[in-house]
Structure formats: C-alpha cells, structure tokens
Amino acid sequence: MPKMKTKSGAKKRFKLTASGKVKAGQAGKRHGMIKRTNKQIRNKRGTTTLSAADAKVVKKFLPYG
C-alpha cells in the first residue's frame, strides 16, 4: 500500500496536539485592525483549538499528523 500524501496547505496551517486536537492560528488578524477593538486584537494572539466539527475535516488532510 503506498503512503498517503499530506495536503501541503494543511501542514502549513495546522498542528495536532498530543491529545489529538487541532491547533490553528486565530482568524480575523490579516487586515482591518482599525475596526477591531484593542481587546479583540489582544485576545486573538497565538493559537486556538478548532471545534470538533472543523477538526474532523482537517484531520482528513493530515493522515500522519
């Protein structure tokens, strides 16, 4: 059986934690910062874990993650 290929876009954007959850960067930080409150900008630093429904989709792209 040949090896499965990981989706290149997914491996750049997501990481799996030891417990199998999916870590991703926070959304809403690319542009338009002037519209956001300072609290929003502060709270969107770092990474977050995806919801179970979203994680299920992403895990299909990371077969060996």
pLDDT digits (tens, 9 = 90+) for 10-39: 999 999 999 999 999 999 999 999 999 999
**CATH 2.70.98.60 fits domain 8-55:** no
On the question of pLDDT at 54 being above 90, the answer is yes
On the question of pLDDT at 1 being above 90, the answer is no
On the question of pLDDT at 46 being above 90, the answer is yes
Query: What mean pLDDT is predicted for residues 45-65?
Result: 95
pLDDT at site 47: 97
Pairing of strands 14-16, 47-49: unpaired
- Cβ atoms of 52 and 58 within 8 Å: the answer is no
Task: At 49, list the tokens.
Answer: 């874990």
